[in-house]
Structure 1
Amino acid sequence: MSMMKRRNQERLEKLTELQRLITDGLDSGISDRSKDEIIQVARERLAAPDGRNL
């Protein structure tokens, strides 16, 4: 039974984090960047060796 409770707790934590990320995205507003600019910035962030935010 404790394994089920642990799995349920982990699931709830993941859902809570997902909801926080969705809320953050909605609260950030509409970007003035084009889709291509957003993708380019994301690629640059992924390629950065130190994971820095641009």
Structure 2
Amino acid sequence: MSERPEPETAVTTEGERARPRRDMEERLPPSLWIRLLVYVVVGHLLGGFLYLLFEVGSRAQ
């Protein structure tokens, strides 16, 4: 016996069964993937810049 209820399925206009709704809910929208990619890239660039500043500052002493 499963604790989860069976996923609801959408019915198309021809009466065929489409993929379960759960698949749609588990996937992230493309705009969210782009935002995530931008945040990761910008975060790494900022981290690299700070690392560079600390390296240059430590050699200047």
Tell me the TM-score normalised to structure 2 length.
0.47
Rg larger in 1 or in 2?
2
Matched pairs, number: 32
In structure 1, list runs of 5 or more residues that go unmatched: 33-54
Percent identity over the alignment is 9
Q: Which structure carries more strand by proportion? A: 2
Aligned counterparts, 1:1-54, within 5 A? 1-30=29-58, 31=60
1:11-44 CA distance string (max 9 Å, x none)? 1100000001000000002557xxxxxxxxxxxx
Q: Which structure carries more helix by proportion? A: 1
In structure 2, list runs of 5 or more residues that go unmatched: 1-28
Q: CA RMSD in A?
A: 1.5
Tell me the TM-score normalised to structure 1 length.
0.52
